[in-house]
Amino acid sequence: MNKQNCYQSTRSAQITASAPEAILQGIAPDGGLYTMRSYADIGFDWQAVLNLDFNAMAARILAALLPDFSVEEMLALTERAYHGKFETPDLTPSVPVGEETVLELFRGPTSAFKDVALSMLPYLMRVSAEKCGCRDEILILTATSGDTGKAAMEGFCDVPGTRIIVFYPEEGVSLVQKTQMATQPGKNVKVCAVRGNFDDAQTGVKQAFQAIQQKHLLEGRSIRLSSANSINIGRLAPQVVYYFTAYQAMVRSGKITMGETLDFAVPTGNFGDILAGFIARELGLPVHRLICASNANNVLTDFLRTGCYDRRRPFHLTASPSMDILVSSNLERLLYLLSGDAQLVSRLMAQLSDQGCYQAPPELLTKMQRVFWAGYCDDEATKQTIGQVWREHHYLCDTHTAVAWNVAQQYKAAVPDHRPLVVLSTASPYKFPEAVLEALKAEQQGDGFAAIRQLQGVTGVPVPRNLCGLDTLPVRHRDVIDTEQMQNYIMEKAVEQPWNP
């Protein structure tokens, strides 16, 4: 395989890039997402990495996915990115809970699973810039449904040569998430609330990004736009690693023998997390099924069951806000990887944008259904699940994890040939303390911060360090704008120097 063009747009085989170029650009010039033609063709020695410790395993997997980086180079980067930042030495511990295993992805610096990828992305970006001979400052634009924003700012905070602007839906994130973002220190970070929902914010960023590129609005200013959303392949690649560590833990605990297959239940929003599982499977990891769990915004459930993707439906604000998404960007990569047909993907994405819906061809649907199973549950069932898991197993899970747990049980009831199951846990219960308290039938007193203290009182589960005392930090970011103002806001801030002296 030629390293120079091992990545291409999901919408055109003619638009190619090396891995560092793809990381630096974030999104392809035609609006498609960068992907390899096939991850299975790498011929990855998946069994060999299962004997390694975390850093060595991560370095091998990342060097395979991003071929311009050597294993030694990746080893140095993973050590710098992760060392001392997570609560536990094995970044993402696997915890037995009843019959299932919970893969805890939230032990990072902001108690969000996105820390795994966003601790690594700034390092991948800096080295990518060096490899591409780029001396421009990198300006990261990111839309967040809550957790990405904080994790991205934490990752990029004061990294030389980078600045980051985070947009979040004003009414779409929890008080704790909002406070985490509004109090973010760092000379190179900006946070701005947008009047609208997450899809509005994400679409706004995408459109502003493309408009600024196409009209060359930043020409001559030595600023290069990029993204930290999971559309960036540098964001996606680090997530592939924890499917391997989970598998390793299942073998070591004796729940499976080497080579046996596992099922993974994934609380899904933008389809990045679960797509990383698909890539792990393409690399050879014995994954039987990936269970796509949604909340009341169940557009993916319908799609994976019928092949009809239809975003023309009411948007629900739920107790699992990081999954309140009607357009799951990374699904586009799956469509490409299973069809190998960029023209088809391009056509379907144009239909989604023009008509709000598309129908996957029957062969593609069959291929998807061989690997994916989909289900959803509403807020009522989510809260019941939190209460039940707490009573039966004394394990406290957040609302997103509860959705995955609930759908995993639906799957087990519906599919007799299920395998040992890993439920991905994507947030600390303390990020959504009001909903979790309600699920435990404890009456909440006061705001979200009081709820954190109260939840600890009721359960005795320790509060993560980064969430203690959050309400006493100074607020540093107060901007609020309409979606139509996003492009101007970005242009204004791009040329403003310095930001936070």
Ligand X SMILES: *Cc1c(COP(=O)(O)O)cnc(C)c1O
- List residues binding ligand X (CB under 6 A): 112-114, 147, 230, 267-273, 322-323, 400, 426-427
Q: How far is the CB of 260 from ligand X (least distance, A)?
A: 26
**Residue 376 parent element (H or E):** strand 372-376
Minimum CB–partner distance for residue 4 and ligand X (Å): 29
Smallest separation (angstroms) from ligand X to the CB of 296? 14
Q: Closer to ligand X by CB, 18 or 268: give it.
A: 268
Nearer to ligand X, 68 or 115 (CB): 115
Helices (H), strands (E): how many in the chain? 20, 16
Nearest distance from residue 103's CB to ligand X, in Å?
Answer: 12
Helix (H) or strand (E) holding 282: helix 272-282
Q: How far is the CB of 310 from ligand X (least distance, A)?
A: 19
Long-range contacts of 89-94 (CB under 8 A, 24+ apart): 89/54, 90/54, 90/245, 90/249, 91/54, 91/116, 91/242, 91/245, 92/116, 92/242, 92/245, 92/246, 93/249, 94/245, 94/246, 94/249, 94/250, 94/253, 94/422
Task: Give φ, ψ of 374 to 5 degrees.
Answer: -130, 145
Task: Name the token pair of 144.
Answer: 């967040």
> Which is closer to ligand X, CB of 20 or CB of 269?
269
Q: To the nearest whole angstrom, how small is the minimum distance from the Cβ of residue 217 to ligand X?
A: 29
Q: How far is the CB of 495 from ligand X (least distance, A)?
A: 31
Closer by beta carbon to ligand X, 68 or else 147: 147
Using the minimum distance from each CB to ligand X, give the nearer residue, 204 or 267.
Answer: 267
Q: Please report how close the Cβ of residue 270 comes to ligand X at its closest, in angstroms.
A: 3
* Placement of tokens 């030694």 in the chain: 72
Q: Is 136 buried (19+), middle (13-18) or exposed (0-12) by CB count in 10 A? A: middle
Token output for 404: 């995955």
Whole-angstrom distance between the N-terminal and C-terminal Cα of the chain?
A: 47
Would strands 262-267 and 421-425 be described as parallel, antiparallel, or unpaired?
parallel
For residues 345 and 360, give the distance between their C-alpha atoms in angstroms, rounded to a whole number: 9
C-beta of 75 vs 238, nearer to ligand X: 238
- Are 404 and 431 in contact by the 8 Å Cβ rule? The answer is no
- For residue 437, the minimal CB distance to ligand X (Å) is 18
> Closest distance between ligand X and the C-beta of residue 382, in Å?
12
Residue number, 271 or 303, with CB nearest to ligand X: 271
What is the smallest separation between the CB atom of 308 and ligand X, expressed in angstroms?
A: 20
**Residue 321 C-beta: closest distance to ligand X, Å:** 8
Cβ proximity of 487 and 208 under 8 Å? yes
Choose among 327, 347, 325: nearest CA to 336. 347
Distance (Å, whole) CA 215 – CA 8 = 23
Name which of 6 and 427 has its Cβ closer to ligand X: 427
The helix/strand/coil state of 462 is: coil
Nearer to ligand X (CB atom), residue 8 or residue 330: 330
E-state strands within 2-150: 7-9, 12-17, 34-36, 94-97, 100-104, 137-143
Q: Nearer Cβ to ligand X, position 147 or 263?
A: 147
**Beta carbon nearer to ligand X, 192 or 402:** 402
Residue at token pair 């899904």:
268
Record the tokens describing residue 344, joined without a space: 């088809």
Nearer to ligand X, 54 or 271 (CB): 271
Q: Which helix (H) or strand (E) holds 166?
A: strand 162-169
Amino acid at position 449, single letter: F
- CB 324, CB 318: distance < 8 Å: yes
